[in-house]
Structure 1
Amino acid sequence: MVVLTTLIAIEPAFARSATDLFVETGGPLRYALVFLFAAIPWFEIFLVIPVGIGLGMNAVAVAALAFLGNALSVYAVLVFHDRTRSWLARRRRREATPGIRSRGRARDVWDRYGLAGLALSAPLITGVHLAALIALTAGSGKRAVGTWLTASIALWTVVLTAASYYGFGFLAGL
């Protein structure tokens, strides 16, 4: 929720237009948007799964497409890590003060729990894309990062799908 609130505060027009697009689209295109939005940092599975299920979409299809969109975008980060690392280095040289707060939280998780802890908490703390970059920068291998983040995305997909499906079902029964 903090991520959604931050996104809306930073880019309210973008957030509104993305939400409107998702709500106003129907049929197979709506499922394609689930895949696409799950691949976008800050939207990811924590927003896409509850919204999709809340709109009455098939829960299994939403879960599968959200998982694929989020996992494949993480693998893209892993594949293009070297280019991304060069880009971040250039960007840090231009910025006067880097984002210490989010990097500090992520580093605390890394120091305490390592790759497994970062991967399992990534959707809540940093998002899986940034977690992949943090893990790679900290020296973890691409295969280990991919394995742990895929497991984390799968776990969170199941938890969010079940919570959304049964939560909305409970609310509909009231």
Structure 2
Amino acid sequence: MLEYLLLAISALGMGYIPFFEIYLAIPAMMVAGMGPVSAVIWAGLGNFAGVPTILFFYDQLSKIPRFQNWLHRMEHNRFRAKIERYGGIMVLLTTVFVGVWAVAAICRSLGMSRRKLMLTTGVSIFVYSVLTAYSVQVGLDWFQS
């Protein structure tokens, strides 16, 4: 039980950290012995936690010079115009490429509703988490054969 708890905390933490997100957390946890369903749940929850963090602490983070520069870089990336033009459907598609932190910052600065942002990023994280876990499982099965 303690081992599972440590893996779950690790998955949450890795999923939460920008640039690691689900694409490192899920494979790392599955290689460490966590099942694919648990890896998807814990890493997905950790990854999704970045959305409320940006939504609720955006104003406070933007007052800190280091975070202000970081938020500015995330808000003005190449996908901003596409998200601005296509809205939620583009959030579903670009979260995988840009990352949930950048998507949340862009959508926050564009004024997208919290509900729409949380729903679209949640669906996107779930779909890409399942696809990642499936790919890793197929690779592990092939490697063990």
TM-score past 0.5 threshold: yes
In the alignment, structure 1 residue 114 sits paired with structure 2 residue 91 = no
Closer, same or farther: CA 40–89 of 1 in aligned 2, 3 Å: closer
- Which of 25, 36, 47 lines up with 1:59 in the alignment? 36
CA displacement at 1:27 relative to structure 2:
5.0
- Bigger RCO of structures 1 and 2 (CA < 8 A, at least 6 apart): 2
Q: Secondary structure at the match of 1:105?
A: coil
CA displacement at 1:122 relative to structure 2:
1.6
Does the 8 Å CA contact 1:119/1:131 hold for their aligned counterparts?
A: no
Identify the residue that residue 23 of structure 1 maps to in structure 2. Answer: none
The TM-score normalised by the length of structure 2 is: 0.82
CA displacement at 1:154 relative to structure 2:
0.9
Does the 8 Å CA contact 2:4/2:34 hold for their aligned counterparts?
A: no
Does the 8 Å CA contact 1:74/1:128 hold for their aligned counterparts?
A: yes
Q: Secondary structure at the match of 2:111?
A: coil
**Number of corresponding residues:** 142
Deviations 1:21-47 (A, max 9, x none): xxxxx5532331111111111111011
Closer, same or farther: CA 106–85 of 1 in aligned 2, 3 Å: farther
- Which of 41, 46, 53 lines up with 2:18 in the alignment? 41
Tell me the C-alpha RMSD between the 2 structures: 2.7
In the alignment, structure 1 residue 30 sits paired with structure 2 residue 2 = no
- Which of 58, 61, 66 lines up with 1:81 in the alignment? 58
Distance 2:73 2:51 in 1: 21
Structure 1 unaligned residues grouped into runs of 5+ = 1-25
Distance 1:121 1:88 in 2: 27
Closer, same or farther: CA 88–154 of 1 in aligned 2, 3 Å: farther
Given residue 68 of structure 2, which amino acid in structure 1 is its aligned partner?
Answer: R
Q: Structure 1 residues 49-58 or 102-111, which shifts more? A: 102-111
Deviations 1:29-66 (A, max 9, x none): 23311111111111110111112112332221111111
